Each structure stands twice: as C-alpha cells, then as structure tokens.
Copies of this chain bind each other. A is one copy, B any other.
C-alpha cells in the first residue's frame, strides 16, 4: 500500500556527521525530496530571495502564527525568529513530496511532539574518534571551538533514541549511505502505521 502523501523527514546530526553531503546526494538522486524553506523575521541580506532562501515575515506575523499553531518548530536567535511554517511543508506533502528539514535536536523534538508522523533520522559518524578527526581535519576551528562542538554532540546524541533511524555515515560511502536514506523512506511508505486505511481500501469499504 503506497502512500500518496509525502513524508516529513527531520534530519539531525552533529557537526562533522556529513548530513549535508548525504542530503545533497539524496536530492541529486531523487526528485521525490524537497528541502523545506524556513521562515525568519530577520531582514533579507543582499541577494536573498523571499521564498527561496527564506520566507521573510514580520515578527508580529511570526508570533501570531506561533499562537495559532501554525509553526511546526522554531528557535529565537540574536533577536529574531527562525522556524518552519506548517503551511509551507503541508503544500509539498500534499503534492507527494518528501519534505526534508535539516534541524538541530531541539527543533526535532518540537516536530516529534507536534507532528507525530514525522520521520526522524539522525546522521552520525561511525564513532566519536571519527567525529573528532573530521572536526580537526577541517583545520578552520580553534581548539576551544572543537571542544565545544564535541561536548555539544555528546549532549545531542543522548537523544538518539527519540529518532526513528540512526544512519552511520562512513568515510567514502556517500553513494551507499544516500541509497540507504532513500530506502528508509521507501520502506516507511509500506509500514502499517502509515497505511491505517489499508483494510477499508482493500475491501473498498
């Protein structure tokens, strides 16, 4: 029983997990996936296009949307709101697209509470040593920066069991990992939890 409606997919992972690279490959391989465009109350920067880089809305509008339950997850950072509007994701889901939100653990937990059928995927390196090596390998982070990020990862990964899947992003396996990502979504579409109307449909009730 194949679900016509797309799946809302939340992807998190520590800095150094390579989740962005995995997602880019997924988008390259399949047209069934779209990124969700976030909303923000900050001003557009030169070159930023409304509806492409962000949906730019006023603080008053954002707060009104929060109040009426129209925001799936949000954060407040340096005096501005950033978040995901339900109307934005709903449109793509209705068209059968799988909508990908690349957000941190806190936002993921908000989505899990508000939209129970969202699918949560955690992308991780094979182990902590690899995570550290990848962060150091970038060469752009200070020692303090690296320590902070590792500490943060340790805290974030404590939430791993709130996710549905944990996808290990091995070195040099991007083709395999992106396939696995796509397989997970395909498999989910056959899950009975996502096909509660199966019996009635089958018997045309």
Cβ contacts under 8 Å, A168 to chain B: 1-2, 190
Q: A187-B183, A204-B128 are in contact. Are A198 and B164 (CB under 8 A)?
A: no
Copies of the protein in its oligomer: 2
| A164 and B191 within 8 A (CB) | yes
The contact size tier of chain A is 20 to 34
Question: Taking CB as reference atom, which chain B residue is nearest A125?
Answer: B202
CB of B2 within 8 A of CB of A199, answer no
Roughly how many angstroms separate A1 CA and B168 CA in the complex, as a whole number? 5
A203 B154 Cβ-Cβ under 8 A: yes
User: Nearest 7 CB-CB pairs, A to B?
Assistant: A187-B187, A183-B183, A184-B187, A165-B190, A161-B192, A183-B187, A128-B203
Besides A128-B203, A158-B199, A183-B187, 14 other CB < 8 A contacts?
A: A1-B168, A124-B198, A127-B202, A127-B204, A128-B202, A157-B203, A160-B192, A160-B198, A166-B192, A166-B195, A166-B198, A180-B186, A184-B187, A187-B188
